[in-house]
């Protein structure tokens, strides 16, 4: 069934269909309507879950960590400074290998205070050990929430489902709500390898010594560094697992999600724009305009940011003349984070495309089609003339 609703409502419906058992959240714009909707579902008896209101985002994730430790399917959502307030618990959830799913409704970070969209919140948390998936429209939001639980529970790594604040969260568009029976066919119940039980107290994630040593049963237990190595290798394996899950999703729902990169007019393109989130759909119109002018261009939306699908990125970009990275986030004093990742992925290729970096849309600064057209056109016409410094779009100085 198709409905016309906001991106937040799309996410809430995904959470409901995933049969989430525990929701803990603290309201923050522009995430609030998502968790309000979930509390309505629980209140109306449409969702068999505990909704636990908390006094902060730190507690929201702490509740999810506790719930997931007992084997419950847990969900939270936040934005911007709320995500930052969770930071310590983000690392904990990943280190404890708990398959929590969280929607990050992307918003700029204060100070100065802003409620509008950019990607600095999620990008600044990229090294917490969470998988990060990005969405371009409401169908992708609801579908990605379902895939996220499957992925998280398969690799025991928590997942952020990121989508643009306001641009997607508060915009209404049609999307299909999957049938519960199909979702149940796709997403098996959460069966943890170990679950805390009230009759059997246990210490979890206590002080771990620098070196390996025998545990209470006399078996050699991994030390801190082995545990970190396992997290890293399981994150790398998650790249393949995501493709399998995407395939299975397509088998049930008939929608192919392009697990790593969603391409538009890229087959013969000499120059390719790449970015995260809904901007890649906006850039489709820009590509059409530049194609009319005779330029050989295409656009790619990167769906998976962490773990970084470097092989797929390399395969998609290595033989292009130029790659243009549009970013709504910045590693201050250096470059856009995605730009650095893409250059790194291309470093070992024989023929390296020119790579340009544009920073735009910070704190909700309007992104105009004609600005995108001009910058992308400029990069195509003069691929070698722009230096490694990021260029700013729409800066009024």
Nearer to another protein, 18 or 167 (CB): 167
User: Residue 174 or residue 251: which is nearer to another protein going by CB?
Assistant: 174
CB of 324 to another protein, least distance (A): 18
Q: Tell me whether residue 19 or residue 170 sits nearer to another protein (CB atom).
A: 170
Least distance from another protein to the Cβ atom of residue 171, Å: 4
Asked whether the beta carbons of 3 and 175 are under 8 A apart, the reply is: yes
Q: Are 162 and 106 in contact (CB under 8 A)?
A: yes
Closest distance of CB 276 from another protein, Å: 15
For 147, 257, 391, the CA distances from 301, given in Å and listed in that order, are 18, 11, 20
- Residue number with CB closer to another protein (174 or 188): 174
Chain centroid offset of residue 175 CA: 20
Smallest separation, CB 2 to another protein (Å) = 7
HSE, CB side, 13 Å, CA atoms: give it for residue 371. 17
Q: How far is CA 360 from CA 119, 275, 396, in A?
A: 10, 11, 12
Backbone angles phi, psi at 352, to 5 degrees: -90, 125
Token pair belonging to 370 = 């004609």
Closest CB to another protein among residues 292, 351: 292
Torsion of CA 325, 326, 331, 334, to 10 degrees: 50
CB of 290 to another protein, least distance (A): 10
Q: What is the C-alpha to C-alpha distance for residues 165 and 170, in angstroms, rounded to an integer? A: 7
Answer whether 28's CB lies under 8 Å from 159's CB. Answer: no
The answer to whether the beta carbons of residues 274 and 339 sit under 8 Å apart is no
CB of residue 80 to another protein, shortest distance in Å: 14
Least Å distance, CB 98 to another protein, is 34
Q: Please answer whether residues 227 and 95 qualify as being in contact, where contact means their C-beta atoms are separated by less than 8 angstroms.
A: yes
**Toward another protein, which CB reaches closer, 114 or 144?**
114
Of the pair 26, 264, the CB lying nearest another protein is at 264
Instruction: Provide the binding-site residues for another protein, judged by CB under 8 A.
Output: 2, 4, 30, 115-116, 166-168, 170-174, 278, 281-282, 284-285, 288-289, 292, 366-369
Residue (of 294, 261, 267) closest to 280 by Cα position: 261
CB-nearer residue toward another protein: 179 or 288: 288
Query: Closest separation between CB of residue 139 and another protein, Å?
Result: 10
């Amino acid at each position: 069934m198709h409905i016309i609703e906001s991106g937040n409502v799309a996410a809430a419906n995904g959470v409901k269909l995933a049969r989430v058992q525990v929701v803990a959240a603290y309201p923050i714009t522009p995430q609030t309507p998502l968790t309000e909707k979930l509390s309505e579902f629980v209140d109306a008896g449409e969702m068999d879950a505990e909704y636990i209101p908390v006094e902060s985002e730190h507690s929201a994730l702490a509740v999810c960590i506790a719930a997931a430790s007992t084997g419950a399917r847990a969900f939270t959502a936040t934005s911007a400074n709320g995500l930052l307030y969770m930071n310590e618990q983000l690392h904990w959830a990943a280190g404890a290998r708990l398959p929590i799913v969280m929607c990050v409704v992307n918003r700029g970070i204060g100070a100065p205070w802003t409620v509008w969209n950019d990607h600095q919140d999620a990008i600044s948390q990229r090294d917490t050990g969470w998988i990060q998936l990005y969405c371009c429209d409401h169908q992708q939001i609801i579908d990605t929430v379902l895939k996220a639980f499957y992925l998280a529970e398969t690799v025991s790594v928590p997942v952020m489902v990121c989508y643009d604040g306001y641009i997607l969260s508060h915009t209404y568009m049609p999307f299909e709500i999957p049938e519960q029976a199909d979702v149940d066919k796709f997403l098996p119940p959460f069966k943890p390898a170990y679950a805390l039980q009230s009759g059997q107290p246990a210490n979890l994630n206590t002080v771990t010594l620098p070196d390996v040593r025998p545990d209470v049963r006399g078996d050699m237990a991994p030390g801190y560094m082995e545990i970190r190595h396992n997290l890293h290798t399981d994150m790398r394996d998650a790249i393949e697992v995501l493709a399998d899950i995407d395939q299975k999703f397509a088998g049930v729902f008939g929608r192919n999600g392009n697990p790593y990169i969603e391409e538009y007019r890229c087959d013969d393109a000499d120059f390719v724009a790449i970015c995260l989130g809904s901007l890649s759909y906006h850039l489709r119109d820009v590509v059409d305009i530049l194609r009319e002018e005779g330029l050989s261009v295409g656009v790619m939306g990167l769906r998976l940011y962490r773990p970084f699908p470097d092989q797929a990125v390399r395969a998609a970009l290595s033989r292009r003349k130029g790659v243009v990275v549009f970013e709504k986030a910045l590693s201050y004093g250096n470059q856009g984070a995605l730009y650095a990742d893409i250059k790194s992925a291309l470093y070992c290729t024989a023929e390296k495309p020119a790579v340009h970096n544009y920073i735009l849309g910070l704190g909700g600064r309007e992104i105009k089609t004609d600005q995108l057209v001009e910058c992308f056109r400029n990069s195509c016409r003069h691929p070698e003339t722009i230096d490694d410094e990021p260029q700013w779009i729409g800066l009024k100085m």
